[in-house]
């Protein structure tokens, strides 16, 4: 991807204090974009901003809860004052909770749906009017393989990510007439703090146990490993660039072939009944 191919553009990445979000902000910044990042954890956000500035990336970092319309409005105004109109919005903020659905409560449902789905609606709503006025813009939503597949203990998380893909498709259809492209990226397992937190729950709780769990998950993928955040960032960089100027309404899997392998393992009705 050409360096400075996003020069003069403004990118806003939510949930960018670490993991996939920080990698996306770094990649877009290296392509010349001015980058605004937000997250709820102010200390982690300050460190992320410092790391980006060390690479001479022009960054604005502001703590914000993207489930709250008021905080979003304040942040969008701050970005516009410092950098100008937002050209690229990457909705990356997300949380996860894995447990049997009957052992979770309304508060769990509300928290996950608010962060993973409502926030995307609110942030997109905040940037859409200016994008529509200029007839240009890119919105990229970070979904998950959980938006295309179901599994035990993932009911609320899957619901949020399936909903996100539905929202993405409808936004793409409605905004394309204004020259605005909307797409989603669906990562599989990625080596992030969120994945390591989950891995500790499924191991003995130690870092060594978490690493063993991650290695085991990696071996279940056709490519034999989990992804690195930078590999997700490369797909986002492609979608944000002119190389993807004819791409909208897509949900791109970045899962090491896992979903295709799972689908191939499910027998068809004909296979189950026999072929004679």
- Residues labelled as active-site residues: 157
> What whole-number distance in Å separates Cα of residue 144 and Cα of residue 253?
8
DSSP state of 190: B
* Token reading at 253: 């899997």
b/e per residue, 215-251, with b = 16+ CB within 10 A? eebbeebeeeebbebebbbebbbbbbbeebeeebbbb
| 182 within 8 A of 250, measured Cβ to Cβ | no
Q: How far apart are alpha carbons 123 and 132 in whole angstroms?
A: 14
Return the percent helix, strand and coil in the chain, to nearest 5: 55, 15, 30
What phi, psi does 233 have (nearest 5°)? -60, -35
């Amino acid at each position: 991807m050409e360096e400075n191919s996003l020069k003069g553009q403004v990118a806003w990445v939510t949930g960018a204090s670490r993991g996939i979000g920080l990698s996306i902000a770094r990649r877009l910044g290296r392509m010349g974009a001015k980058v605004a990042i937000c997250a709820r954890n102010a200390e982690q956000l300050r460190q992320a901003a410092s790391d980006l500035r060390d690479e001479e990336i022009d960054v604005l970092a502001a703590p914000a809860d993207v489930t709250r319309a008021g905080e979003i409005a304040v942040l969008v105004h701050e970005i516009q004052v410092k950098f100008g109109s937002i050209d690229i919005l990457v909705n990356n903020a997300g949380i996860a909770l894995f447990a049997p659905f009957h052992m979770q409560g309304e508060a769990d449902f509300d928290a996950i749906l608010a962060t993973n789905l409502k926030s995307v609606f609110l942030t997109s709503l905040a940037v859409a009017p200016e994008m529509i006025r200029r007839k240009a813009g890119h919105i990229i939503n970070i979904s998950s393989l959980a938006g295309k597949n179901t599994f035990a203990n993932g009911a609320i998380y899957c619901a949020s990510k399936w909903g996100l893909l539905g929202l993405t498709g409808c936004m793409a259809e409605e905004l394309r007439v204004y020259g605005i492209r909307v797409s989603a990226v669906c990562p599989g397992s990625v080596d992030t703090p969120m994945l390591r937190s989950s891995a500790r729950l499924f191991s003995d709780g130690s870092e060594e146990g978490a690493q063993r769990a991650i290695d085991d998950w990696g071996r279940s993928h056709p490519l034999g490993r989990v992804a690195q955040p930078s590999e997700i960032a490369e797909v986002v960089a492609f979608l944000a660039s002119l190389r993807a100027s004819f791409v909208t309404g897509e949900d791109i899997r970045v899962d090491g072939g896992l979903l295709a392998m799972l689908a191939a393992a499910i027998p068809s009705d004909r296979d189950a009944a026999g072929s004679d």
